[in-house]
Amino acid sequence: MRVIVILFLITLVSYAKDYTKVKEVREFINVLVKKQGYSRARLNTLFANVEVQKIPLRAFVPKVKKKRTPEQIAILNRLYPKYGAWNRYIRYKITPKRIDQGVSFMKKHYNTLRLVEDLYGVPMEYIVAIIGIESVYGKNVGKYLVFDTLTTLAFEPNRRNKFFKKELRKFMELSKKSKINPKRVYGSYAGAIGLCQFMPSNYEAYGVDFNRDKRLSLQQPSDAIASVANYLKKNGWRRGEPVASRARYNGNRFKAYKTGYKRTYYPSQLKNISLRTPWNYKGKIRLIKLNTTHYDQLWFGAKNFFVITRYNHSAYYAMSVYQLGTKIMDKWKKSKVENEN
């Protein structure tokens, strides 16, 4: 068993590679020289010594389906039982510690959050929740060199080569524009950067230099806060409208209608379903089902719920942002009342 573990770990060890010997990379360098004015010598130096990031690569290599033994199936069933997916999802996302950290972040950056909320119409608690989930309020912005990671994912065979080649080109453009060394920027296993974990292409599309220091940096809380709000606004956030509301149905497991953030209904179409707390919302809704250990939670998701899924295409992600944000704001208000008394 120990030998198997050692061999597995060896397969994950990064190694240095000279990418200037790869024809596709040389063509990529030519584009950067012609279109971005990069120094060819500088690019050759960068690409000549890249640590191939094998752990990130594993996430994007197509997985070969293998027939599992009964013993393997039994282990998987114990690790991932049929029910309780929502409980497992939020185990490390919505915790008392994460809520307290969110309240502290809100207190520290309240003036910026208030100004951004007024400007973009996105409630501050959801901005704080996204930053909390993405990077634990800046404590975990990633441990992988972005240049090496994007180079690996752009040129080593995987299912998203085209996407990562575009992101690498944007990253190089960003590095040159911001006058930063691309070999000194760390991010996620996919190359996402900063407190809000933007991919390089999102810098240009949604990044905001909110503190006006003429340098967009998502490592700076003010820029990250405004950039999250700008992202949500440009993806359709509706000022003053709700996000979600808990619904009631008969039974413990919900199967009456198809659920998910992509399908919409008018409330009048849904029979034997009612809201636990009435809300002032007139548009189409999404039925969101959260699979818990003992029953399915059912929620109505408004347009703003769908907008959060543009940040991460997952109903569970959007619901974790909503619930974490709500809990942060509740505790924030409670602390203000206690302080006033």
3-state secondary structure 231-263: HHHHCCCCCCCCCEEEEECCCCCCCCCCCCCCC
SS3 content of the chain, % helix, strand, coil (to 5): 55, 10, 35
Measured distance CA(144)–CA(149) in Å, rounded:
7
The string over 5-15, giving b where at least 16 C-beta atoms fall within 10 Å of a residue's C-beta and e elsewhere, is: eeeeeeeeebe
Dihedral angle, C-alpha 14, 16, 19, 22, nearest 10 °: -80
Residue 109 CA to its chain's centroid (Å): 21
Both tokens of 184, joined, read: 């000194």
Give 281's contacts (C-beta < 8 A, 6+ positions apart).
241, 242, 245, 300, 302
Long-range contacts of 72-75 (CB under 8 A, 24+ apart): none
Catalytic residue check, 338: no
Q: Which of 219, 215, 242, 222 is nearest to 308 (CA)?
A: 242
Catalytic residue among 117, 125, 134, 173: 134
Instruction: Enter the DSSP assignment of 15.
Output: E
Instruction: Enter the DSSP assignment of 68.
Output: P
Residues forming the active site: 134
